[in-house]
Structures are given as structure tokens and as C-alpha cells.
Structure 1
Amino acid sequence: MPERSPIRPAVVFALLAVPWSVQTFVGARPPGFVFAWGLLNFDPFSVTFLWDFLFRYTMGLPDYILAWPLSVACYLLAFASALGGYLFGREDPRVTAGLLAAAGVAQLTLARGFSFQPGRAGWPLGTAACWLVAWWVYRECDA
């Protein structure tokens, strides 16, 4: 892949469309979806943006929830790195891939935290997506 290809930032940007964690519940309740930008629920239908979640609904939250904004921070830095590589030709793909890997680890922590609650499971789709993008787009990097 050429060094200044628009594919890299586009693929990293596309991670915003992937639910980073899917929470399933015992019974007939529909799953909840955690994206980089917010939380989407269908019972009842609601969207809570990350900004609101952090600054309005933070009282009494478990510590593992902090993995969500941490993963988003790593993701945003990875996107900035990929975009900078495209716009200015100055990207160390190892840094971008490392930030995506870190975002994936943080999302794994979030899904694991959800899974320890009775009647609930967390599925870390964001971990798989971030790691897949890190591998696919940046696999030509030499160590």
C-alpha cells in the first residue's frame, strides 16, 4: 500500500461504524451497543453520547467503564496518526497500529467487565475490529 494512501485513514475512520462492545442480556431484552461515539439501546430506544455519559452519568459507575473513554482516546490518536500520514506523509505505522492495539485491549477490558455482571455478557467486537485493522492496514511494517 502506498505510504500516502487515503485507504489507511478511511479504514481507521470506518471503525466508528462498528459496535465496539455488544452487551447481551438473559431473557428477551434486546442487546445494547457501545460505539466509540456513544451507547445505543433499543429497550427503550435511546442514544447516549460518550460526552454525556462521561460528564452527566458518571456517579457510581464501576471502574471498568473507564476503559471506554481510554479506548476512544487511543482510537482518536490512531486516527490522527493515520490522517497525518496521508496529509503530510509523516506517519510511523507502528505507532498507529500500536494505538489501535491499545484501543482493542481497552475494549476487551470493557467487555470483560460487562460479562462479570449476572445475566449479562459483553462481546468485544471493537477489539477484533481494531486488531484486524491494525494487522491488515499496517502488516507491511517491519519490526
Structure 2
Amino acid sequence: MTTNPSEQSNARVVRRYTELLLVFVLGFVPWSVQTFATGSATLLFPWGLVTPSTLSVTTVIDFLFRFTVGLPDYILAWPLGVVCYLVSLGSVVSGYVFGRSDIRITVAGLVLAGVTQLEVARGFSVQPGRTAWPVGTLALWAVAAYLYRSHTVASDS
């Protein structure tokens, strides 16, 4: 246990930076990986869809405003998850910049974003010739658990 106020302050800065880095990196992890019987794949990130075989990218903005007509409801869970993620990201940025944030908001946003990606994976997986892997759910929940646990341990010290 550190008793020196300077050491405690440094530890808080390091913890806030670590939180920011972990949540930020989640924006570059594929949240869902759809594999097709043909051998191709599509990677769903919070910022867009990437199809490596054709090197095509569809941003979430294009998806929302150009390609949503007639799509099944389960795919709309993806942008909802992005909103939950952005709430978490805003929370950790606030904690880093202003030194104050509520870890419960950060964790809740990550957990809910993970839940939305389960729905996306479920919806894609029921289609013939396609399997979806909710990679992001595991990553989002792992970071949420780590952040919650680190704050619980820090408050007990």
C-alpha cells in the first residue's frame, strides 16, 4: 500500500492512462468475424465492415445512412453497440482529462456493447453457409471485468 500522496497520484494517472488505452484499443479489434462457406470473411469493427478478400470497407456512417433499408433487425444491434462503446470511451476520456469518471458507466457501456454483438453474431449464424464469431464480445467483457476488478481492488486498498 502506498502512503506517499505523490505515489498515489502517479498510480491514479497510470491507471487512468491504462483504462484509456484498453478501451481505445477495443475500437480496433474486430467485434464480429463472419466466415462464409466459400472461404471468405467479413470483419465487423465499431467503425465499419472490412472484407479482406475484396479489400472493401463500409463505414458505420455509410451503413447507417445508405445501406440500412430492408436489412434485418439483428444487424441494427451493431450501431447500438457502437453507441454503448462511445459512451464508455467518453467516460474514460473524461477520467483521463478531468481526473473524474464513474467506472460503472464505462463498464456498463462495454458490457452492453458486448451483448449487442452477441445478437449480431446470432443473427448472422442462422443464415446458411455463414458463421459469426463474437470476438468483440469476449474482448469487451474482458476489458470491462479488468476495469471493474482494478477499481474494486484499488478502492479496497
With structure 2 as the length reference, what TM-score do the two structures score?
A: 0.85
1:63 Cα deviation from its structure 2 partner = 0.3
Per the TM alignment, residue 83 of structure 1 is displaced from its structure 2 partner at its CA by: 0.8
Whole-Å separation in 1 of the counterparts to 2:124 and 2:82: 17
Q: Which residue of 2 aligns with 1:61?
A: 71
Paired position in structure 2 for 1:90:
100
State the identity %. Answer: 52
1:139 Cα shift?
1.0
Identify the structure with bigger relative contact order (alpha carbons < 8 Å, sequence gap 6+).
Answer: 1
Residue 86 of structure 1 deviates from its aligned partner by: 1.1
Of 109, 123, 136, 1:99 maps to: 109
TM-align CA RMSD:
1.4
The runs of 4+ residues in structure 1 deviating greater than 2 Å are: 1-5, 42-45
Q: What stretches of structure 1 of length at least 5 have no aligned partner? A: none
Could you tell me how far apart the structure 2 residues matched to 1:103 and 1:2 are? 28
AA paired with 1:108?
Answer: L
For the pair shown, the structure with the greater C-alpha radius of gyration is 2
Deviation per residue, 1:47-72 (Å, 9 max, x gap): 00000011011111000011000000
Which residue of 1 is the match for residue 145 of structure 2?
135
- Runs (5+) with no aligned partner, structure 2: 1-9, 153-157
CA contact (8 A) 1:32 1:41 kept: yes
Aligned to 2:150, what secondary structure does the other structure show?
coil
Given candidates 6, 16, 26, the residue that maps to 2:37 is: 26
Provide TM-score, normalisation by structure 1.
Answer: 0.93
- CA drift of 1:41 comes to 0.4
Which letter does structure 2 place at the counterpart of 1:121?
T
Match of 1:8 among 19, 40, 43: 19
